[in-house]
Structure formats: structure tokens, C-alpha cells
Structure 1
Amino acid sequence: MNRFDRITAILIQLQSRKIVKAQDLAERFEISLRTVYRDMNTLAEAGVPIIGEAGVGYSIMDGYRLPPVMFTKEEARTFITAEKLMEKFTDLSTKSHYQSAMFKVKSVLKSAEKNLLEDMEQHIEVRQKYKPFNPTLNNTLEILLKSVADKKVVRMRYSAFNTEETTERQIEPLGIYHENNYWYVVAYCLLRTSYRNFRTDRISHIELTETIFSKQHASLKEHMDSLPKLENLELIVIRAKKHIMPYIQNDKYLHGFVSEKKSGDEFEISFLVASVESFLRWFVMFADFARIVQPEALKDKLKKRLTTILENLSIP
């Protein structure tokens, strides 16, 4: 970042908070405190009404605004919620860009609204159950979105589900979507010569190439709308004890959850399932507090599965 861009960014950050410490600026922009002091003098000489108090920090005289945009308190509160979600469910690069945008948004708020946001930050928390990205990567979404915008091929290493094999792929992304705690990219795979879904946490390496897309693709929305609806889904009904429900609430959506109703100290839950085998493996995790209502064939499969488990336990 050159000096002009840094000073502009410092001005925006000063407008986004009531008080900004010199140490915070030094850490964010990776500069020395001496450089921070020089940048502050530059802003003051340019006519920005900066107030500095030793041991406290810097602030800008109330009423000084650059952008001619104002937000309501209700709109301002939604920024905090969005910021919390961005922190947990996007990659490091996207989160950084969003934080930079938020500094610009906050810079147009009055002191009262800034105080409100700083207080609300302590009252909103987003819990994350799964890691949506490979921990070795920090710019997965940024590269995928740049690929969509520039129509350039992405090269990546990918591990498919239920296999330890990693393959080299070149893909032409249509777009990204978030579902069940994970980010997915829908793309035309040059290796398989067909459209595929890739889960971002299974990508171990990703880079943007200079190769232009081999063909013109529909938008993500058009592609998703054109997909045939799932057929031959099997209805499964179970009954689960009330106290076990909190432990299966999140994962039930991954297994075709349709509805549930309370019946005494149990809940009757219905699913439309594409993979009975996958559902059965999940059901075994809490089968001691639940039972299968239908279909009868699933009960027989469960008995065989439990018999195999007992046999494996008896093997020395």
C-alpha cells in the first residue's frame, strides 16, 4: 500500500470510530508509531480537524464528514450482524475486504451511532460448527469470484468425498453458494467435461490462470433452475426422545428433513432421503434414543448393521 492510500485509509478509520489508538493503526497497516505520527501530521496540515490526546488516541472533530451518506440506527445495527457472519463464514481475504468496506460505512455515522455499534458488538455472537475452507488457504472465495468476473480458468487440487485421492482440476466457475455450513462452487470441470459441485473445504490449493474459458456458461441461477428435481426419494419416519433432539437439530437438514411433530415425550420426524445408506449411518449415532417407524426394510438393514458392529467388537 502506498503512502497516499494508507493516509486515506487512516482517515476512513478515524471517521469509523470515536477514538483510534496509534498502536491500532500501526498494527493494521504494519508501520511504526513514528510513521503513524507523521501521517497524522500530514492529515492535520491538509485541514482535517484531528484531536489527539496523549494516552487516549486520536479522534476527528464531530461533524466532519467526507461522504454525503447517512444511515439510520436500524440500518447501522444490521451492519454488525453482517460483520459477525462475514467473520465466521468467509475466507480471510473476503473478510479483510469487508472490514475495509465497513470502515468506510462507519465513517459516515455520528458519534452516537458509533457508540451504539461498539456496544452492539458485544451482544451478537455467531457460532461456527464446521470449517468452510481449507485452513491452509485464505483467498478461496476471492479467486473464485475473480474467475467468474474475468472468465479465466481456475487450477486447483481437490479431494472428492469418501476418497483420500487428490486430483488436479481445471474448472470454469459459474458461481458460489452457501448451504449447510459450507461454501460450494458450481463449475464446468475440464477433467470430467461436465458441470460439477465442489465443496471449498476440500480444495487444498487454488490459483487463477490466464486461460480464458473454453465456452460460454449460463449464470449460476440459470444453471440451478435448469437442474432436474430429485426423484425416487424414499420417505423415512423415525421417533426420537425429546432430550436427544438438540443433538440432531443441525444435522437433520443434511439428511432430507421434511417435518416433525411432538407426541408425548417423543418427536416424530419425517425425511425424504436420496441415500438410505447415508441416513442409516447417521441414525446409528443416536439409535439408542430413537426408533424407525417406517419403512420396515430400513429396520432390517439396521439390525444387520448392528449385528456387524457386534461381530467386529468380538474380533480379537
Structure 2
Amino acid sequence: MNLVIALLGSQYGRSREFLRTRIQGYDPKVSDEAFGRMFERDKVHLKRLGIPISAVRDPYAEDENSWKYLIRPEDYRLPEIRLKPEGLAVLSLAARVWEQASLGSAAARALRKLETVAGTEAAGAGPAMESRIRTKEPAFDALWDALLHHRRVSFSYRKSQDVAAGPRHVEPWGLGNRYGQWYLSGRDVSRGEQRLYRLSRIASDVTIDPGAGFAPPVDYDNAEALDSLGTGPQSEAVLEVPAGRGQLLRELASGAVPAPRPGWDTLTVPYREPELLADDLASMGPAVVVLAPAALRDAVVRRLSGAATAAGAPLPTVDFSIPATPVRHKPPGEDRLRRLLDLVPYLVQNSGIEAATVAEEFGISRKQLDEDLALLSVCGLPGYQHGELIDVQWDEGVVFIRDADELAKPLRLTQEEACALLVGLESLQSLPDEAGKETLREVLDSVRRVAGPDAWMADVVEARIAPETSLETLSILQRAVMGRGRVRITYLVRGRDDVTERVIEPMRIYSLDSLWYVEAWCTLSEGMRNFRMDGIRTAVAAPGTAPVRELQLESKGPARMSSPGVFMPEAGDLKVVLALDPDARWVADAYGARARAALPDGRTAVRITVGRAQTVPALMARLGGGGQVLEPEELRKASGDWLARALAGYPLPGAGQGAPSPGRRGKPDRL
């Protein structure tokens, strides 16, 4: 921190001798060689944060001190950006796209910096539509880093419907989200051609080649690569479902006839993505039996078998008093320095702000904030006397800062921050909101100018979030949100396989990955509910105006504006404890886990709440062995029985042949 202030506050630069002897934090007694190693380490450290140190030769000196070092203000400080209040609101919406993803902190930092230099406040009215994208796949962060630095990667990959995984060596060209899944596009080095890889099928850690990089093709089109998904040959699934059940499958079916088994029907359902269909069919359990094709049938059996094996595994001991250690993608010291450099301009812009508000903004405890402010108070220009040190006061719960001119302007957007914000903005272009398109284009142009050469990353990372519903239905719901209207809908309740009619009072529309929801007060249930947009069969405006409901503004459920999720907890919901594999930890965020604990075998125990017990066995089947019900005991047994009934529908010899042998905890490998 002191090195940054000294080099940023120097017009002509500082010599190595000056830095060694005058910068607080360096030991002036160490040898020149030892200091050189420390200085080079710090230069690399600062470069990772987007702070380049320039070297200028002094023509009047002849020894090692002939080189002077400085940080040029134009290389450090974020340029001013002029945005209307509506533009800042759009920026906020774009940043929140990543709120539940590993890029969430980068997007939040970028938004805070731009708000500091924008010279205006965001519009007060919240948006009618919001989107969230998760990066739940363990491979995402390593692939992001490799893409950023043009490095080859190696990993084990399991192709669709294959059991065994094989090695892959890839030059990453782009990342994209479609159908709620992340895909890597790049050149398969061994095969010498471009391929797409679904991140959830990567069966190992991603190894980044530290050697020489590669040059991606100049004509690469990430959108074109994503468009190739779902264009393969269409297949047909032959399914048996109980008569009168399987409403969604019946809507998709191209044919339906009575089955040989009394009380069942045989459906023919077209599909293109076998894994996505296998997930859905497995989650239906005993309510469907796959007859053909054999590959789809085996894929469903593997999921059910994996879930059943996990259900019967020994129960681990869970101690929620020892929380799970959060995954760190950056060294702790780097995290803190980044936060301190962001903290100073934020405090300069918001002098007299309450300390509790600052801690909440930066996602830290009040104790950590006190430690950060205490550290800032001993940082400053060389000399470190009164007037040279940063003057920070935080008496009586409010924070004031003075003598911080060198750091008063925010640090430029890093490549990661610029990309996170730009990809979020680009994803909003797929929303059917014509009224806001002009503002969105203006904000995109402004952020691209500020990002400069670092904007390239946003061209090779794409997230598609367009809602899969009719524009008419979406328009009716949007108008209801904006005008406090009421809507009469017919709705398919998937868990009960039942179509209901109800009147709702929509509060907002939001997405999580590829699924879109409308959050509304349901007059039938007399409570707040989340309705999947693809479950709404009809929607018409209903007479009357929705009353203002203060309760929904006070709710702290995970599906609120600050952190939307799939589940909205209510009093009386069932508390459930699950053990989750690393690639199934997204369940904790989706269901607003109230507690997490690390388990000795590498899994994470979470405590969630669910509205209906039937949700849990369906979720376990979808996870295919990646989750285990621990509590309550009745639900654990009921889930095992449900899975056993589902597997009983596949009695043919060899139905599950090809399923892998049990591995850790007896759990088979998954697709």
C-alpha cells in the first residue's frame, strides 16, 4: 500500500535506494539482492491487480539508481464516465447478473468504481426484470484464467452418454452459457479441430499449461459456436407414464397411445439434448419409465442408481459449529490490498458514512473494517509524518477520511472487472425491453471506452438469458409489475403434476441460469410464490389493482431483490440437511442454505428449507449421486423408498449395464 502511494505520488519517479530505505514496510538493512527479490515480487503482485509500474532512466545517474520507478496516474486512475441515473440503474442490473457466480465480486467492484466517478445517483425505481447466472461448475475459474492469458488446458472429459472419461488438451477460445449450462469452445490440440465442451462433463481438475501461450484465430465468433448447440439430429424417446399424469411430457409428445400395462400410456417425445432430458426424467422417479432408446434409458438408470447408492451410504457426522472454509481464488493479501485501494475512493466520495454501511458494502465484518481503517491510518507518503499519513477517523460509528489525494480516484477496471460488467450488459440485450435498449447501448459504449483494450474478453464470453416464453405472456406480466396489476394464470405445478388456475399479483420477473420466474402474491395460496415462466400455460390481465404489501419488502428470503433464488422460505417449511459433492454445491445457493459445514470426505453439509418434502428425492435423482439426505430421518428413508420404486420400473436384464463400478462412498461416476 505504501509502495503504491509513493510511486503514484511522484512526478519523476523513485530510485531503488529511495524505495529500500524510505518506504515503510521494506527493511533498509537487507542486502540489495534481497531487496531486489522483494521489489520484483511486489511489482508482479501489483501487476496482477492492474497497476503497472513504469521505469524511467535518469540520464544524470550511472549506477543502478539511474532507473526511477513510478505509477503514472493515467495508468492507475479510472477515467470519468458520464451516465444518466437510468444508465447507472442499468449498470447495477448488469452487475447483479453475476451476483451468485464466481465473478460476482469482480462485477460488484466494477460497479462501485463506476458509481464513484459517474457524478450522479442511480434511478430509484428498481427494474421489472432481473437475471442471475451461476458458475457452479468447478472448472469455470481455471478456464476463465486460461482464456484470459491464452494458455492451453488439460482435463478429463466424459462425452454425452459415455461412461469413461478421456484426456483432452485444448486451446480455449471462448466461454458461453446456453440452456443453463456453461460450454468451452476451443481447439482440441490432439484432434486439430474446434470443439465444444460442456463444463459439467469435465471429470477432473483443469490443469493450465504454464508454457508458451497461443494466438486464438482472429475470425473466431463465439456466438456462432453457441448457435451450433442443439442443431444435431433429433431423436425420439419412448416413455411410459401413468394415465392422466406427465402433463409436461404429454405437451411435448408427438404421439400417445395406451400402453400394454393397464393404467399407463406410451408417449413418443422428440428431443435433441439427451443429458438434459435424462436429468428431467430421472427427477420424475417412478412417474415415468424410459423404454427407448437404450442410451437414454441407461442414462436415467445411472442417475437413479447413483442417487440410491448415495442414499444408502453411511451417514457422516456433521458439526455446523465448524463452518465450511470459503474457496479462495486469490491470495488473502491480494484480496485485502484490492479492498483497501477500493475503500479509499469510496470513503472520499462518501465522507461521514456509517461504518456499518461500509462493512455491508464491502462484504466484511465490522471487526475487519476496523482493522482496515487502522491500517490505512499508518499508510501515506514517505516521511510518514502529520499531513503525509492518511487521516482516518471512525469515532461514534461514522467514517471520515482526509489527506488521501493520491488514492482519491478509483483504480482502473481490471480485465476481469471489465469483462464481468460487459458480459452482464451484453446479456441484457437479449431481454425484450425495447424501451431500455437505447440506454443500454449508451452504457455499453461508455463502459467499452473505459475498459479500452481489456474489452476484448467480453467478445469471447457470452451468457444468453432470453426468457423462453411468449412475448404476449411476458408483456402482460411486465405491465402488471410496473402498474401493480393482477393476472389470471393457468399454471402447471411440476411437483404435483397438476394444472391449476389462480390470480397472482406480480412483483418482479427474474431468471436464474436459463429458468425464468415471476415472483408474485398468489391469492390462491395467500402468500408470496415463485412461478416458473415455462409453467404458465395462459395469462390474461385480471380486474383490480394489487395492494401494497409491506410484508414482501421486509422478507429476507433468498429470492428477494438482493439475492434471488429458486426457493422462497416460509414459516413451517421443512428443514433438511444434505451432503453435497463439490459440483452440487449450487444447491446451497439456490435454496438459501442457512448453514454449511465441511465434511472429512470433501463434501459440504448444508441446511436448507423446502416447502414440500417431495422436492428432495427429485433433487437427489437429478444430482445422480452428488447429494445425500442426512436429516430428517423420515425424509431420508422416504427418499430411499422413492428411488427404489423408480428403479423398480427398470427390471429388464442389462437395463443398467454399462453403469460404472462404485467409487468413493460407493457412488458411481456420473455422465
TM-score after normalising by structure 2: 0.28
Q: 2:645 is matched with which residue: 305, 308, 311?
A: 308
Paired residue type of 1:194? E
Superposed displacement of residue 253, structure 1: 3.7
Give the 5 Å matches for 1:15-94: 74=413, 77=418, 79-87=421-429, 92-94=431-433
Paired residue type of 1:217? V
Superposed displacement of residue 186, structure 1: 1.0
Measured in 1, the distance between the counterparts of 2:551 and 2:512 equals 14
Q: Which runs of 5+ in 1 are unaligned?
A: 1-71
Superposed displacement of residue 309, structure 1: 3.8
Q: What is aligned with 1:233?
A: 574
Q: What is aligned with 1:224?
A: 555
Superposed displacement of residue 83, structure 1: 1.3
Paired residue type of 2:555? M
Measured in 1, the distance between the counterparts of 2:541 and 2:635 equals 46
Change (3 A) 1:230 1:223: same
1:259 aligns with 2:259: no
Give the 5 Å matches for 1:179-190: 181-189=515-523
Measured in 2, the distance between the counterparts of 1:313 and 1:151 equals 50
Q: What is aligned with 1:201?
A: 534
Superposed displacement of residue 120, structure 1: 4.1
Total equivalences in the alignment:
227
Change (3 A) 1:119 1:304: closer
Change (3 A) 1:310 1:218: closer
Q: Which runs of 5+ in 2 are unaligned?
A: 1-410, 558-567, 654-671
Paired residue type of 1:103? R
Give yes or no for contact 2:574–2:613 (8 Å, CA) kept in 1: no
Q: 2:586 is matched with which residue: 247, 250, 254?
A: 250
Secondary structure, aligned partner of 2:471: coil
Superposed displacement of residue 179, structure 1: 5.6
Sequence identity of aligned pairs in percent? 16
Q: 2:459 is matched with which residue: 101, 117, 122?
A: 122
Measured in 1, the distance between the counterparts of 2:503 and 2:613 equals 32
Q: What is aligned with 1:28?
A: none
Superposed displacement of residue 293, structure 1: 4.9
Question: Whose RCO is larger (CA < 8 A, sep 6+)?
Answer: 2
Q: What is aligned with 2:361?
A: none
Q: What is aligned with 1:282?
A: 619
Measured in 1, the distance between the counterparts of 2:573 and 2:436 equals 42
Secondary structure, aligned partner of 1:301: helix
Q: 1:171 is matched with which residue: 488, 504, 529?
A: 504
1:272 aligns with 2:603: no
Superposed displacement of residue 208, structure 1: 4.4
Paired residue type of 1:250? W
Measured in 1, the distance between the counterparts of 2:544 and 2:627 equals 53
Paired residue type of 1:183? Y
Q: What is aligned with 1:48?
A: none
Superposed displacement of residue 137, structure 1: 1.1
Superposed displacement of residue 281, structure 1: 3.1
Paired residue type of 1:154? V
Q: What is aligned with 2:251?
A: none
Q: What is aligned with 1:55?
A: none
Paired residue type of 1:121? A
Superposed displacement of residue 101, structure 1: 1.5
Superposed displacement of residue 279, structure 1: 1.6
Measured in 1, the distance between the counterparts of 2:630 and 2:451 equals 55
Measured in 1, the distance between the counterparts of 2:625 and 2:486 equals 49
Give the superposed CA RMSD.
4.5
Give the 5 Å matches for 1:126-145: 126=463, 133=467, 135-138=468-471, 140=473, 142-145=475-478
